[in-house]
Structure 1
């Protein structure tokens, strides 16, 4: 067995089933396993995972952290390569799994970053730019650059033996994937990014959940990079500047809406004269 697939899940039965259906459609000629780390779901997630032949391991909710859940799951994985997935991911290439080992032929490469199809710029870049192998030297030890470019744990592949040396941090509130990348790059390893293997990650969130997620990511960024409030500066001047920009962005949206409505009213009567169904 070459590959273990690790999926984190909490009450995501519908998304999990979509994820597993996409895996079942993969064209792959080698054996792999699927391990689901379930955080005591109350829905039928476990039944669905079992139906699709997954190994299910339960992690108590009170012990959850992103890094902790991944470490817990990898401990139950058998293969030397681990594909880490969120339950909200489904793979688009039918040879996604088949291609993963081919990107680990260089022993220095210990992690892979793939392309989220919802990011149009990343998709375009994957076709127009060759994949890149990132090292500590190529990024000149720039923590902020490493944060932006390296592995994203809703869909990332890593070597298990490297993880055994550098397990994920279980304390940091978010960004455990970025901190791991920082540590392995600093230790002389490499991560390949911009790989033209595509997936979709979409997790609907309430406004409160989105605010919490953004705040956690910003806190992690501050802790790892040492740069205070990079994306959400807290000074009064910065807040006013942000509000000013948002106000004029809203004005532009309203103008666009009004102009579009006016144009519809102008062309609809003309088109009605010529169009018959």
Structure 2
């Protein structure tokens, strides 16, 4: 219902479904949406994006993960505003976690998605959990369907090489829900590291990098937990999350085999569900969600 409550009304809504077994399609049937189906055996993030965009009719493509929901009713307006500049290829909004997210992931969102806008950021970073792209550029360069993740980074890197800009729009805020087990966290970072190695073959992540990043990020998280007076509550969780994060990254960089069907199934479909998280930094009234929506 967050999309239904948007102030920007000239839109169409598509859901790309790869064989969901929950009530996704039943819920979607209550709204004005089109369903685009994709075989789960063929699923990659790049392929699902390309299939959805092929079916869409708009000049601008807004992408939001199944694990996300917009916070404010002007989310679409804010996300599309940067495209008034013809050199903007992609915009992406701020993300914050839900109560179910790991403490360390909240720190990732806080540092990766600051409250300050960047209409033309220097680095090619973007995040397709909450983003918009210019369709005409996608027609020139569709998403990579072969890599196991980070297809957004690969696409934005291409856009930067073509002289286009990337806009960071914190006002276009979404809540990104992860209810992952530690095993699933490990799997996600391993998958993304395999993709990073494919995107940047010259990149490396050594044991020394793994140990150094584990120590650095763990200390940073523990300091923040101390500030929030939840040090002992989060102590084990922080160490465990950061360990599997960088262990998975190291293992992904070391992987040199093929992405067979077994590995493909292991890599995808993390769980997600609705929760309530209302940030406070904007003056506009946020969308009020209920458990049934």
Tell me, which stretches of 5 or more residues in structure 2 are unaligned? 98-108, 234-293
Equivalent in the alignment of 2:134: 159
Equivalent in the alignment of 1:12: none
Q: 1:114 aligns with which of 93, 104, 123?
A: 93
Instruction: Classify 1:257/1:107 alpha carbon distance in 2 versus 1 (closer, same or farther; 3 Å).
Output: closer
Equivalent in the alignment of 1:201: 176
Equivalent in the alignment of 1:54: 33
Matched, 1:26 2:6: yes
How many Å separate the matches in 2 of 1:93 and 1:247? 32
How many Å separate the matches in 1 of 2:219 and 2:18? 44
Instruction: Classify 1:248/1:185 alpha carbon distance in 2 versus 1 (closer, same or farther; 3 Å).
Output: closer
User: Offset of 1:195 from its aligned partner?
Assistant: 3.9
Q: 2:120 aligns with which of 128, 133, 137?
A: 133
How many Å separate the matches in 2 of 1:82 and 1:195? 18
Higher-Rg structure is 1
Instruction: Classify 1:57/1:121 alpha carbon distance in 2 versus 1 (closer, same or farther; 3 Å).
Output: same
How many Å separate the matches in 2 of 1:96 and 1:133? 19
Matched, 1:89 2:82: no
Instruction: Classify 1:207/1:121 alpha carbon distance in 2 versus 1 (closer, same or farther; 3 Å).
Output: closer
How many Å separate the matches in 2 of 1:251 and 1:152? 26
Other structure's SS at 1:213 match: helix
Q: Within 5 A, what are the aligned runs for 1:185-200?
A: 185-200=160-175
Tell me, which stretches of 5 or more residues in structure 1 are unaligned? 1-20, 140-144, 259-277
How many Å separate the matches in 2 of 1:177 and 1:117? 19
Q: Within 5 A, what are the aligned runs for 1:1-277?
A: 21-28=1-8, 30-118=9-97, 119-121=109-111, 125-126=114-115, 129-134=116-121, 139=122, 145-146=123-124, 150-225=125-200, 226-229=202-205, 233-234=206-207, 257=232
Instruction: Classify 1:247/1:192 alpha carbon distance in 2 versus 1 (closer, same or farther; 3 Å).
Output: closer
Instruction: Classify 1:62/1:248 alpha carbon distance in 2 versus 1 (closer, same or farther; 3 Å).
Output: closer
Instruction: Classify 1:257/1:70 alpha carbon distance in 2 versus 1 (closer, same or farther; 3 Å).
Output: closer
How many Å separate the matches in 2 of 1:195 and 1:184? 21
User: Offset of 1:199 from its aligned partner?
Assistant: 1.1
Instruction: Classify 1:24/1:251 alpha carbon distance in 2 versus 1 (closer, same or farther; 3 Å).
Output: closer
How many Å separate the matches in 2 of 1:200 and 1:172? 26
How many Å separate the matches in 2 of 1:77 and 1:245? 43
User: What TM-score do the two structures reach when normalised by structure 2?
Assistant: 0.66
Deviations 1:184-238 (A, max 9, x none): 1101211111442211111211222111101111222233232111xxx336xx6
The aligned length equals: 217
How many Å separate the matches in 2 of 1:130 and 1:239? 31
Instruction: Classify 1:244/1:116 alpha carbon distance in 2 versus 1 (closer, same or farther; 3 Å).
Output: closer
Structure number with higher relative contact order (C-alpha < 8 Å, ≥ 6 residues apart): 2
Taking only aligned residues, the RMSD between alpha carbons, in angstroms, comes to: 3.0
Instruction: Give the helix-richer structure, 1 or 2.
Output: 1
User: Offset of 1:51 from its aligned partner?
Assistant: 1.1
| Aligned residues of 1:50 and 1:56 also touching (Cα < 8 A) | no
